[in-house]
Amino acid sequence: MRLGLVVDLDTCVGCHGCATACKQWNTSGTIGPLSDKDPYGRNPNGAWLNRIRTYEVDDSPNSKTVHMPMSCMHCDDAACVTVCPTGASYKRSEDGIVLVDQDKCMGCNLCSWACPYGARELDPQEGTMKKCTLCVDRIYDEKLPEDERKPACVMTCPTKSRVFGDFDDPNSEVSKLVRERAGKQLLPELGYNPVNTYLPPRNKPVVEQYQPVSLKDTVKGWVNKVISR
């Protein structure tokens, strides 16, 4: 199995719901807490496993606003695991999930340097590395109803822009989406082979253009309508 997420850049509205749900679930999950420094002060700073950035793509009048949520891509070739000296970072062979063993991490930051996607953040209180767990403590939890065995971010997304599944199974929803919508990897040139895939916005005019019509054409249009009846 190669578990991961598909993120639809066409429909994501940048509401930060997934980031909030992620923080809420994981702060009391297996790698919790996700602490904050100065949370109500002037410069709040804390460990988040999911961040949403907003870009403007292309120039006006063709420009489009794109919201891009990013969490760990659970890369096939995860250099964050290779560089870790303590063995705290590891990739599970059974499903490809990359995790940090909080009891082993010494907080050297090297894995965060090795990650191109900014997926790892040092917990300011605990001094250990935090990253997306793909909600490993939800997706296998047999006490949850079957349709809730999904990551918290996927469950919460109001526009269903995040889809969870097995990329090794060609018939899974994620594999189909990647095929149909020409899913893209980020920074493919670095060779990390990220599992998470992004669906580019659909090709359509972003804003409908107002077409000025002459009086003659308008009258002609009315006449044609009347005659055809």
Partner 1 sequence: MHPAFSVLVFTVMSGAGYGLITLMVLGHMSGFAPQESGVLIGGGVLALVMITVGLLSSTLHLANPKNAWRSFSRFKTSWLSREAVFAVLFYPFTLIYLLGVWLQGADVGTFVALCGVVSSVLAMVTLFCTSMIYASLKTIRQWNSSLTPVNYIALGLMSGSLLLAAVQAIVAGELAGVQLQMAMGLLVLGAVVKVVYLFWIGKPAGSTINTATGFTQASVRLLDQGHTSNGFLNNEFGYTVEANKLVRLRLLMLALAFVVPFLLLLAASSALTVIAALLVIAGLLVERWLFFAEARHVVRLFHGDQRT
Residue ranges binding ligand SF4 (CB under 6 A): 22, 25-26, 49-50, 71-75, 78-80, 83-84, 86, 88-89, 98, 100, 105-111, 115, 117, 119-120, 129, 131-135, 151-153, 192, 194
- Smallest separation (angstroms) from ligand SF4 to the CB of 192: 5
Between 123 and 178, CB nearer to ligand SF4: 123
Judged by the rule CB under 8 A, the positions of this chain that interact with partner 1 are: 16, 19, 42-48, 51-59, 62, 65-66, 68, 70, 79, 81-88, 103-110, 112-118, 121-122, 124, 126-128, 184-192, 198, 200
Q: Which is nearer to ligand SF4, 48 or 175 (CB)?
A: 48
Four-CA torsion 76, 95, 72, 22, nearest 10 degrees: 170
**Residue 200 binds which entry of ligand SF4, partner 1, none, CB below 5-8 Å type-dependent:** partner 1
- Contact status, residue 174 vs residue 182, Cβ threshold 8 Å: no
178: partner contacted, choices ligand SF4, partner 1, none (Cβ within 5-8 A by kind)? none
Q: What is the dihedral of CA 129, 130, 135, 140, to 10 degrees?
A: 20
* Shorter beta-carbon distance to partner 1: residue 11 or 112: 112
How many residues are given for the chain?
229
Shortest Cβ 166–ligand SF4 spacing (Å): 14
Q: Answer yes or no: are the C-beta atoms of 126 and 33 closer than 8 Å.
A: yes
- Please state, as a whole number, how many other Cβ atoms lie within 10 Å of the Cβ of residue 41: 9
Contacts of residue 179, defined as CB under 8 A and 6 or more positions apart, other chains included, come to none
Cβ contacts of 122 within 8 Å, gap of 6 or more: 47, 107, 109, 112, 128, 129, 130
Q: Which does 136 bind (CB under 5 to 8 A by kind): ligand SF4, partner 1, none?
A: none
User: Which residue lies nearer to ligand SF4 by CB, 128 or 175?
Assistant: 128
Determine phi and psi for 83, rounding to 5 degrees: -80, -20
When the beta carbons of 108 and 177 are compared against ligand SF4, the nearer one is 108
